[in-house]
Structure 1
Amino acid sequence: MVNYAYLRVSTDQQDVDNQRYGILEYANRNSITNLQFVEDTVSRKVKWRERRIGDLLLKTMQPGDTAVFAEISRMAGGTLQVLEMLEHASNHQMHIHVVKQNMKFDDSMNSRIMAIVFGMAAEIEREFISLRTKEALAKRKADGVTLGRPKGKAETVKLDAHREEIMRYLKKDISKRAIAKLLDCSKSTLYNWLEREGLNKKKPKTAKATGTPS
């Protein structure tokens, strides 16, 4: 039997760390050892079968294996998807643990009922969050607050913290494509930063030596 822990990775590192810490603490309390972490960067709006969690449940996990999630809403973006995942796990004798709700799902009727309740609760919670966000934005707009990113160049950007590292790579003639991979950012982000810093100039081509035969 193999134990897996699923992390839905976001741009908020603190959120990711909280997921990891919560799962590890839960696993320790419930004697779930040798966790193999699976990280997924795809939005939960993408169907679960098309994400890494789909590969985990459909291809990797075997009967008797366990998957641990930080909370119901980390599993998928809607009630039906959550229920599909739980149904698949139940039909294949896989165990699902959800840390925040302190729940274990198996093939029992109680687990099926709880899956429906918590899946619906997560969806309702997201609807309320979306509604509150829209209402807050509407109020700010009504108050005359300009929404969106302010015009003009930002005083600081993400890559400013990596200036020395970038300069070191440039001096070593490492390609910009490779530098972007080393910094774990897109090429456009790197190019924009170089342009902003006046470092995006192409090197002049060295003229080939010419001469007349003697």
Structure 2
Amino acid sequence: MRDQTDTGTTEPIPSRLLLGYARVSTDDQDLTNQRAELHEAGCTKIFSEKITGTRRDRPELARMLDHLRPGDIVTVTRLDRLARSTRDLLDIAEHIQSGGAGLRSLAEPWADTTTPAGRMVMTVFAGIAEFERSLIVERTRSGRVAAKARGVKFGPRPTL
């Protein structure tokens, strides 16, 4: 496949791989439906695991992120299969984008970083997540100040 550039020359387009990621939280759950949806969406390689999303170390997710090449598209059935939180989603999306790849969700078409509108939505989410984080930090700081004013001591108890 070739693409014409602004100069009129043709340059090869790097081949795009559609990579799928499927995850269920417990051994009682089944990956069959997610794998079928990803295969139907055109994914040629599917990384799947049975592991809770609250764990930071998800080996198949790490393998998939290491496997990414520019032009690849990571596809998930739903965003909650990929990330534990908005911050986690944004971190993973940033990692994917920094590798020159894209991210799309079958259930949430607005979350498609291969389109300008999808990138804009993710940018807005990143701003909201940053704002939310700053609010949490400020509330925590205020709570500590108020607790200290009430005589609450922080840290371990003195042993002597």
Are residue 65 (structure 1) and residue 72 (structure 2) matched? Answer: yes
Q: 1:111 to 1:60 in 2, by over 3 A?
A: same
Structure-2-length-normalised TM-score: 0.57
Superposed displacement of residue 76, structure 1: 1.2
Are residue 37 (structure 1) and residue 37 (structure 2) matched? Answer: no
Q: Which residue of 2 aligns with 1:200?
A: none
Greater fraction strand:
2
- Give the whole-Å Cα distance in 1 for the aligned partners of 2:120 and 2:17: 26
- Give the whole-Å Cα distance in 1 for the aligned partners of 2:37 and 2:100: 25
Are residue 80 (structure 1) and residue 87 (structure 2) matched? Answer: yes
- Give the whole-Å Cα distance in 1 for the aligned partners of 2:98 and 2:114: 9
Q: Which residue of 2 aligns with 1:104?
A: 112
Are residue 92 (structure 1) and residue 99 (structure 2) matched? Answer: yes
Contact 2:38-2:46 within 8 A present in 1 as well? no
- Give the whole-Å Cα distance in 2 for the aligned partners of 1:73 and 1:114: 17
Q: 1:85 to 1:107 in 2, by over 3 A?
A: farther
Q: Which residue of 2 aligns with 1:12?
A: 29
Superposed CA deviations along residues 34-78 of structure 1, whole A, max 9, x for unmatched, are x1111112211012x643212211x21111112110101011111
Structure-1-length-normalised TM-score: 0.44
What letter corresponds to residue 92 of structure 1 in structure 2?
A: G
User: Tell me, which stretches of 5 or more residues in structure 1 are unaligned?
Assistant: 121-214
Superposed displacement of residue 107, structure 1: 7.7
For the aligned residue pairs, the C-alpha RMSD in angstroms reads 2.6
Q: Which of 36, 42, 51 is the equivalent residue of 1:21?
A: 36
Aligned length: 108
Contact 2:22-2:49 within 8 A present in 1 as well? yes
Contact 2:93-2:103 within 8 A present in 1 as well? yes
Contact 1:23-1:68 within 8 A present in 2 as well? yes
What letter corresponds to residue 33 of structure 2 in structure 1?
A: N
Contact 2:22-2:77 within 8 A present in 1 as well? yes
- Give the whole-Å Cα distance in 2 for the aligned partners of 1:90 and 1:106: 9
Q: Equivalent residue of 2:108, what SS? A: coil
Superposed displacement of residue 4, structure 1: 1.3
Q: Equivalent residue of 1:8, what SS? A: strand
User: Tell me, which stretches of 5 or more residues in structure 2 are unaligned?
Assistant: 1-15, 130-160
Residues 46-195 of structure 1: matches in 2 within 5 Å?
Answer: 46-47=55-56, 50-57=58-65, 59-102=66-109, 103-106=111-114, 108=116, 110-115=117-122, 116=125
Q: Percent identity?
A: 18
- Give the whole-Å Cα distance in 2 for the aligned partners of 1:87 and 1:107: 15
Q: Which 4+ residue blocks in structure 1 deviate beyond 6 angstroms?
A: none
Q: Equivalent residue of 1:104, what SS? A: coil
